[in-house]
A and B are shown apart, each in its own frame.
Chain A
Amino acid sequence: MSNLQSMQALSAADVAGKLASTGYISDESLATVTWLALRMGRPLLLEGEPGTGKTSLAEALAEALDLPLVRLQCYEGIDATQALYDWDFPRQILHLRALEAVGGGSGATAVEEAEKSLYDARFLLARPVLRALQASPAVLLVDEVDRADDEFEAFLLEVLSTYQVSIPELGTIRATTPPLVVLTSNRTRELHDALKRRCLYHWIDHPGLEREVEILHSRAPDVAEHLARQVVGIVQQLRMRDDLLKPPGVAETLDWAHALHLLGTAELDLEAAARTLGALVKYREDTDRVQQALDRMLAT
């Protein structure tokens, strides 16, 4: 079984190869930075346009390293009880009732015993961060960290710098090997410098033509070479326009190619494109513009 340690002996090119074997095509920069994150034991902060494969990198890493993936989806108002741990109150009460029913002895020691048994590990609900620490080595994906509040960032910083969690009633839980942490952000707000300093930063760009064709092949092997090239060519041209509200990402390319393939299209034409446009653009204004652009691109 390959794990983090054996992975550390690899080179950046090996990392790219391992990722490619799971269907994730990385480029030189991403492979180097990922390799550095592995070697330096630092969290990896990924930013970039939506649909450029930030989240998929964590999934691919987990698969390539054969490690469990623990995902923490951030949202506004998330706090420690949803990220770390919580106590299972209903079960604790049930337990208390059960103790009452069997009629445990009276006296100070019995009360103490009963109280102690309430804060047992079995009543602990492990949330993603704690789960990652317990399951470590693991890949911890902190998705869309920019959606969480600032306070949560401070708390995350604490966990990411020590890789341990202390539970007052139970003691400290420490990861034997620090998990590999991947944070993604869509830049809806600037993250705190302190958090950024802990991380290696990488901005994921849209891939170039050749790499996107490669990605399409690896993710949707059924799609024929000719159709794949046509689809990617058009998407790349659309990305160069600056009047689209949401330029299509790689995820949209995959969706579109897949939709065309399901319709049995071998050669991209206007009619097939119009029928599947919903997979490519998600705004009404964009639909009109893309339609016009397609008229020109496919006319020849």
Chain B
Amino acid sequence: MTATVHPPEEILLGFARALRSSGVQVTPDRAQSYVDAVALVGLDDQRATYWAGRATLCSTPDDLHRYDQVFGAWFNQRGGLPRARVSEQPPARAAALVDADDGDDSGDVDQDPAGASAVEVLRHRDVADLTAAEKRRLGALFAALRVRVPMRSVARQEPWRRGSVDASRTLRLSLQQMGEPATIAWRRRRCRARRLVLLLDVSGSMSEYADALLRLAHRISTDPGIGQVEVFTLGTRLTRVTRAMHLRDPERAIVAAANTVPDWSGGTRLGETLRRFLDRWGARGLARGAVVVVMSDGWERGDPALLAEQMARLHRLAHAVVWVNPHRGKTGYEPLQRGVVAALPHVDHFLAGHSLATFAELLEVIGDA
């Protein structure tokens, strides 16, 4: 046994900090309630300490696994003494998304002024063929895209000039007139923004487009008028990047998304990941009544029958399913990939998505959905 004795608060708060560095969102007040909870159950009861920490420090099922790992590393058989520092995860590669900016010098902005026609050309260029400088200029153009919000009517009603009679407001109005019914109040159903779910394919065959699609997702997510937007990436795994998409600055948002996604430019198991999405999120209500946009070229390594089944499921849940295929805009394109063939019967809109102009079209379709 070592001579140094650590005060319990130090061990506990150290654990909270280690947990934070592993990616769990531990705020100071959470750490405080953790210490309170452990004080209640007693520090000597390790199992109760474990549950107390799980209840106070974690907030999503994703946190639970991390918690277990850090807990094991921190409270080992060494009298509460921390082992070496909990190693932080090496950041996933973000380079795939951030353009190789260092390649061009800063002078290119001057020598290539963006005239109106140049912008117009850029709008229609395939994003996969752009140079790094052009991509950067295109990035600025995303801000000019107009996002239209899909609406739906809800059960709640609001006052309106016509519609059905609002009995309780009419009564209240007559109350002001000493009980004489004078004015009739009307109401109509209120409208709300529909939920929007974006599923981005980030597999190898889509790597040229991943950056532009993420920028589009960011543009939509940060639009002030939009309702709830959920963004997921599909590849060999399903990753939720909604949080990252809410960072104001597009560059930081994309780097943050890149850090969360473990499977950039990997293979594609569309059917499999789509099923994971539906099991874990979609069927619970996320996709219900929502406008779901799948952005993928439809290269499927897995079983197309599974993809067809999952697309049918998605179609039954969602209000509208939009499939965006970057290759569709190319001349001579026919939907031959096995995945696309399997998915097409369960899609409401099949769109191109390779240039800014087609993205604008997509936003129109979403707005009308």
Seen from chain A, the residues whose Cβ lies within 8 Å of a Cβ on chain B are 12, 28-29, 32-33, 36, 39-40, 42, 47, 76-77, 79, 89-90, 92-93, 96-97, 100, 146-147, 186-190, 193, 196-197, 200-203, 245-246, 285
Q: Is B160 located at the chain interface by the 8 A CB criterion?
A: no
Picked from B25, B40, B56, B279, the residue with its CB within 8 Å of the CB of A39 is B40
Known: A189-B286, A193-B59, A203-B61. A90 touches B48 (CB 8 A): no
A188 cross-chain contacts in B, Cβ below 8 A: 281, 284-286, 288
Picked from B48, B61, B283, the residue with its CB within 8 Å of the CB of A12 is B48
- Whether A32 and B36, one on each chain, are in contact in the complex, defined by CB atoms closer than 8 angstroms, is no
Q: Which chain B residue has the least Cβ–Cβ distance from A196?
A: B59
Picked from B54, B60, B230, B309, the residue with its CB within 8 Å of the CB of A29 is B54
Q: Is B140 located at the chain interface by the 8 A CB criterion?
A: no
- Whether B30 and A32, one on each chain, are in contact in the complex, defined by CB atoms closer than 8 angstroms, is no
Picked from B29, B48, B228, B288, the residue with its CB within 8 Å of the CB of A32 is B48
Seen from chain B, the residues whose Cβ lies within 8 Å of a Cβ on chain A are 25, 27, 29-30, 33, 36-37, 40-41, 47-48, 51-52, 54-56, 58-61, 64, 154-156, 168, 171-172, 174-175, 178-179, 190, 228, 230, 242, 278-279, 281, 283-286, 288, 309, 313
Picked from B25, B41, B61, B155, the residue with its CB within 8 Å of the CB of A193 is B25
Known: A40-B37, A77-B156, A189-B228. A203 touches B64 (CB 8 A): yes
SS of A interface (majority): helix
Picked from B154, B172, B284, the residue with its CB within 8 Å of the CB of A77 is B154
A-B contact pairs, 21 of them (CB 8 A): A12-B48, A29-B51, A36-B41, A36-B52, A39-B40, A42-B33, A76-B154, A77-B154, A77-B155, A89-B172, A89-B175, A93-B175, A146-B285, A147-B285, A189-B228, A189-B286, A193-B25, A201-B59, A203-B58, A245-B278, A285-B309
Known: A36-B41, A89-B171, A189-B228. A245 touches B313 (CB 8 A): yes
Q: Which chain B residue has the least Cβ–Cβ distance from A76?
A: B154
**Minimum distance in angstroms from A67 CB to a CB of chain B:** 21
Picked from A47, A90, A187, A245, the residue with its CB within 8 Å of the CB of B171 is A90
Q: Which chain B residue has the least Cβ–Cβ distance from A39?
A: B40
Known: A89-B171, A193-B25. A32 touches B179 (CB 8 A): no
A90 cross-chain contacts in B, Cβ below 8 A: 171
Q: Which chain A residue has the least Cβ–Cβ distance from B40?
A: A39
B48 cross-chain contacts in A, Cβ below 8 A: 12, 32
B283 cross-chain contacts in A, Cβ below 8 A: 245-246
User: What is the number of contacts between chain A and chain B, taking CB atoms within 8 Å?
Assistant: 97
Q: Which chain A residue has the least Cβ–Cβ distance from B284?
A: A188
Bound Cα distance from A193 to B59, whole angstroms: 8
B242 cross-chain contacts in A, Cβ below 8 A: 190
A193 cross-chain contacts in B, Cβ below 8 A: 25, 27, 59
A36 cross-chain contacts in B, Cβ below 8 A: 37, 40-41, 51-52, 55
Q: Which chain B residue has the least Cβ–Cβ distance from A243?
A: B275
**Minimum distance in angstroms from B99 CB to a CB of chain A:** 31
- Whether B27 and A201, one on each chain, are in contact in the complex, defined by CB atoms closer than 8 angstroms, is no
Bound Cα distance from A246 to B309, whole angstroms: 15
Bound Cα distance from A66 to B97, whole angstroms: 59
**Minimum distance in angstroms from B253 CB to a CB of chain A:** 17
Interface centre among A146, A186, A245, A285, by most B CB within 10 Å?
A: A245
- Whether B284 and A28, one on each chain, are in contact in the complex, defined by CB atoms closer than 8 angstroms, is no
- Whether A28 and B47, one on each chain, are in contact in the complex, defined by CB atoms closer than 8 angstroms, is yes
B230 cross-chain contacts in A, Cβ below 8 A: 189
B55 cross-chain contacts in A, Cβ below 8 A: 32-33, 36, 200-202
A77 cross-chain contacts in B, Cβ below 8 A: 154-156, 190
**Minimum distance in angstroms from A9 CB to a CB of chain B:** 13
A202 cross-chain contacts in B, Cβ below 8 A: 54-55
Q: Which chain B residue has the least Cβ–Cβ distance from A149?
A: B192
Bound Cα distance from A188 to B286, whole angstroms: 5
- Whether B155 and A200, one on each chain, are in contact in the complex, defined by CB atoms closer than 8 angstroms, is no
**Minimum distance in angstroms from B58 CB to a CB of chain A:** 6
* Given A77-B156, A77-B190, A197-B59, 7 new contacts (CB under 8 A): A77-B155, A187-B61, A188-B284, A200-B56, A201-B56, A201-B59, A203-B64
Bound Cα distance from A200 to B230, whole angstroms: 26
A201 cross-chain contacts in B, Cβ below 8 A: 54-56, 58-59
